[in-house]
Amino acid sequence: MLRGAGGLLLGIALAAFASDPGTVSETEIEKIIASVATTDTERSIIQRRLGGWRELQGAAKNQALAEPEKLKLVNDFIHETPFYCDPVMWCAEDFWSRPVEFLANDGGDCEDFSIAKYFSLKALGVAEEKLRIVYAVYQRGTFTGAHMVLAYYPSPDAEPLILDNINQSVQPASRRPDLIPVFSFNSQGLWGAKEAKGRGQPGEQYRAWSDHWKRVQSGEPVRSVSPEQRKSGECQAIIQRSPWCR
């Protein structure tokens, strides 16, 4: 799903990519361009976003940064990608994209931003135990909705810093009263909001989230949605139902 001068331009992607969802090779970028891009604008977007992501991770100066600087670097880079709700982006109520899909398609929603930041920081050497993706309730005025952010813990008992696509400045959790955490997870486990330590397994209420997370860590090909699919009655109905698409 590529953003061009005429809005969202989409193609069917056939190229598979790295088994590590936090990396992409030059060869894989070329395959994605060959499979997806149909215009020079689309080719430029894919090369710029995926090439920039690869350079961000591989630069020795970035690897050597202190962790607070890595947070800002990744946060700023990921937020160059525009927000689109899942029904508009994927014609689905809920879809978690891999970072390479999010960047190649140049769009996504809260979980896509959080997932891309998570894997990018891991690639820059931030320990996984310091990173958790947080499923939360977002409240602002009369609006209440499900939301996802990335939390960074400088130490196990420290107050986490929150990386969020709504409020794009990195802030301590105590400065985000608009977020009510429900549970958090990474590739090592899942935690309830009131569990300071200890890991749990996803219960039945988390099953759909667990399935999404497995898909994010898989080696599936890049996905996208065609303009014809987006115009379908089924897709338009999903868009109309979503509060995040308004």
CATH of residue 184:
3.10.620.30
Element (DSSP H or E) covering residue 62: helix 60-63
Mean pLDDT for the chain? 85
Q: Is the pLDDT of residue 210 over 90?
A: no
SS3 231: helix
Q: Tokens for 156, please give them.
A: 């196990």
Domain count within the chain? 1
> For the residues 37-62, what does the mean pLDDT come to?
94
Contact of 41 with 33, CB cutoff 8 Å? no
Range of the domain at 227: 2-245
Q: Which 8-state DSSP code applies to residue 173?
A: G
Report pLDDT digits (tens) over 63-115. 999 999 999 999 999 999 999 999 999 999 999 999 999 999 899 999 999 99
Are the C-beta atoms of 149 and 78 separated by less than 8 Å?
A: no
pLDDT per residue as tens digits for the range 6-26: 233 333 333 444 557 889 999
Phi first, then psi, for residue 234 (nearest 5°) are -65, -45
At 188, list the tokens: 């090592």
What Å distances lie between residue 54 and 44, 64, 65, 131, CA to CA?
A: 15, 16, 16, 20
pLDDT at position 245 is 83
Q: How many CB atoms lie within 10 A of CB 73?
A: 18
* Token duo for residue 101: 């899909």
Which pLDDT value is given to residue 164? Answer: 97
